[in-house]
Homo-oligomer: A and B are copies of this chain.
């Protein structure tokens, strides 16, 4: 926990829960009669509402992107390294909005929320949600905040997919899109890993077909397995080797199934902490949203055609050691944008941290975002 709040932090923040009383029809065909969106904001909206930035979270993320909820917090928001006064996404210049997506488990309507039609938690009956659904709900939030047009929509991984969808679906509502550590759609290998994760969760007898809350239990082992697996895919082979190598936790090999290698210890710790803070039904929904994301499917798999009508300018960033969404995947996005005659800046960042690099304060990465956002800030004055 912070002894004192760092000077370049947004400081103590209080999330806001907005209740939206109008229905939203989802791509799967089902409708939510009303719903909540929990969000945080950092900075101030300027007079002509031209300096708003939307932050979209990834698979296991949420609305708490920066700052602290209380002095007891062990860590700040997940992107505190990039968002704050004087930081790359400068809250002295921008009004930054960070929202928890539908289907989430941190305050927006999701599986843990009460279904008004049954008065019980949605649980496994919460509808499937897609990236497009999230964009539509985020647009409703923007309307409520009187933000007609975002200066930029920013996200990493699944968050970047939302940013891409914004540019494709609501072209006039944003001027810039930052697409970080992402892909135009998942590969078969990506889907395969998600399928293993889902199978692990659903195989856990404590999952009870998603009704674990009613059984007063949690699918700890299944969700823990899913998280362990996810973790392996977020880290690079190299970084794992450097961090853990084949270091044993004890001096010698014990010939048992207890934790012997430090990497095992790390994975077990990561999985045990995760299951206490993340909902399993949410996890399933998020992986399906990832699997379904494929904007080019409506354009004959032609990604250039898909982005033909975007108006936003793009910054695309990839990381060398990211093997989940490799630089080659970002290159597909860049190539499509170039083919469609769109403005795009592309940076491949030298990094050893794997997919997780997009969360890290890597100097060249932060510089690039900062430089790009300075240009975005200048334009806000001209809007």
Contacts and interface: CB of A to CB of B under 8 A. Distances in A.
Contacts of A192: 228, 231-232, 240, 263-264, 267
Interface string A171-205: 00000000000000111110111011011101111
A128 interface: yes
A202 B232 contact: no
Given A243-B188, A267-B192, A257 B202 contact: yes
Contact of A232 (B196, B231, B237): B196
A177 to B, nearest CB: 23
A8 interface: no
A25 to B, nearest CB: 13
Given A229-B229, A257-B284, A240 B199 contact: no
A376 B257 CA distance: 41
A292 interface: yes
Main DSSP-derived SS at the A contact region = helix
Contact of A188 (B205, B240, B260): B240
Interface string A78-115: 00000000000000000000000000000000000000
Interface of A: 27-29, 127-128, 185-189, 191-193, 195-196, 198-200, 202-205, 221-222, 224-225, 228-229, 231-232, 235, 237, 240-241, 243-246, 253, 255-257, 260-261, 263-264, 267, 284, 288, 291-292, 294
Given A189-B235, A192-B263, A199-B228, 10 more contacts: A127-B255, A187-B240, A189-B237, A189-B241, A195-B261, A203-B204, A203-B221, A203-B222, A203-B225, A253-B292
A291 B261 contact: yes
A219 to B, nearest CB: 10
- Among A198, A229, A256, the most chain B Cβ lie within 10 Å of the Cβ of A229
A274 to B, nearest CB: 14
A241 B28 contact: no
Given A188-B245, A246-B186, A195 B294 contact: no
Contact of A187 (B231, B241, B288): B241
Given A195-B267, A255-B28, A263-B188, A246 B128 contact: no
CB-based closest 5 A-B pairs = A188-B240, A28-B255, A203-B221, A188-B244, A128-B255
Contacts of A198: 257
A264 B202 CA distance: 15
A24 to B, nearest CB: 16
Contacts of A292: 253
A224 B128 CA distance: 26
Contacts of A255: 27-29, 127-128, 288
Contacts of A196: 225, 228-229, 232, 267
